[in-house]
Each structure stands twice: as structure tokens, then as C-alpha cells.
Amino acid sequence: MNLYEQRASNVRRTWALVLGFLIVVIAVGYAISWYYGNPAILYIAVIIAVATNFYAYWASDTLVLSLNHARSASREEFFDLYTVTENLSIAAGLPMPKLYVIDDPAPNAFATGRDERHAVVCATTGLLAALSRSELEGVIGHELSHIKNRDMLLMTVAVVLAGFVAIIADIFLRMSFWGHGRSGGNKQGNALLVVLAVIGIILAPLAAKLIQLAVSRRREYLADASGALLTRYPEGLASALEKIGSYPAKMRSANTATAHLFISSPFGAKGAGAGGWIERLFSTHPPIQDRIRALLS
């Protein structure tokens, strides 16, 4: 499969995963509505989830930069970063994003912001020191592809849905202790449905989280392919990923809330998705070697 085919395939798979998210949400909402015979709890949960995540989306760049202790990058201090981003932004037809750096020896980078005109690209000082110009172009092309592909919007939708599922599941489980469930009718049938509803709602947040992680991993493959198309030199990004993935230590500001935004796991080589199947299942990123093989195939 070439880069063009991979890009189209990943777009289709990502939207399929988002559809799976919606199915989980609808199933949980139906189970709770049936159990209590009252959809008001569902409406309240929707309002809370949407309001919370709307604020997070609107201020996403500020929140993420603050969590990672980033500072503004000037053209004078980080000339290569500035000129590479400027040139690739023109090639991609994007407004020049704001540039930030994180003072950290671990090589990594991410993009954030609510849309193309409010986008941010941030790199660690370790990344800028370790990469050649062609490798840096590969990384910046990857991050600009996240912006152009509207990944930030898609990941926000995933966060909203995952948050929504977690909130309504928590409400349901708390209220279940009071025993205010559906009564009447076929008692045996109702008991079975109640058990199934409780099991489903307990497992729903886990399912939602797994789908969210899968969406994140698919977006990395898509950004790799799109970034390679932008620079016309997939070897540059492949070489950069090799260096980034081999760095053993985690970033000083690494945290699970923003880990999915980075080009590679900020938790070092052990968090780069190269472990057993369980580690891969809960990893925010696909294995580095799989990404390199896809770029060079």
C-alpha cells in the first residue's frame, strides 16, 4: 500500500472508529433511559459533558502548553524551526502556526489548537538538537498534517464522547446503590436486563477509552503519510522517528492527559508501543517500527 492509499484508508478507518464511539454512547444512553424510565439523567449528562469539553477545546492550546511548560520560540533563537515551519506551511497552504519549545532533552513534538488559524506547533529542545534539517522537516510536516487533516477537531469529538460515557456511567452506578430502577412486568426478564445493563455500563468507559486510543493511533499513521506527501521525503520522517523512538528517558512534563498529542509517546522508549499486546492495546501511539515500515514501503 502506497502513501496515497494509506492516507485514504486511515481516513475511512478513523471515521469507522468514531461511528463505533457513537454506537457505544447510544447503547449506554438507551440502557440508562430504560433502567430508570426517565431520560432526564441522559440530558443532564450530555450538557455537562459538552460544556466541560467545549471549554477544554476552546482553550486547548493554552492548557496543553501550560501543562508541558512550553515557552514561545523566536525566529532569532530557533531559526531552523521557524524557517522549516514557515516553508512547509506555505507548501501546505496553511497559516503560519505559533511556535513554542519545551526545554527538555527528550526529542518530541506536538501540534494543538482549535483550528488552522489558532494552531500551535511545539518541539522540545532535545528534538531540535538531535535532528538534521531533513529530519526536522519530516517532523514538522507530520505536525502540520495534524492541523490540515483537522485531527484536533476529531480528537476533541473523541474526548467529548469518552467523557460523556464516563459521566453517565458514574451517575448510573451511584444511583444504582439507591435501588431506584425499573419495576413491574416480567421480574425475571427485568432482572436479566438490569444485570446486562449494569455490566454494559461498567464496561462502557473502558470500551470508549479503547476506541479513543485507537482513533489516536490511526491519526498518527495518517499524519505520517500526509507529512511524507508534504515533504516528498518519507526517509526524513522515518529517520527522525528512529531517533525519537530510541530515546530511553521520558519527558519531565510527561502526563497521560496530553500524551496522545505528541508525535511519539512522551514516556520514553518503553511507552512507544513496542511492548506486548496489552501494552499496545493501551498505548496512545502505534509502534515506531511499524510506522517506519509504513513510511518506507
Q: Which of 5, 76, 137, 143 is flagged as catalytic?
A: 143
The one-letter amino acid code at 29 reads G
Taking phi over 0 as left and psi of -120 to 50 as alpha, with beta for the rest, 150 belongs to left
C-alpha cell at 171: 451517575
C-alpha cell at 257: 492527559
| 235 neighbors 30 (Cβ within 8 angstroms) | no
Cα R_g (the chain), whole angstroms: 21
- 143 catalytic per annotation: yes
| Distance separating alpha carbons of residues 138 and 285, to the nearest angstrom | 17
Annotated catalytic residues are 143
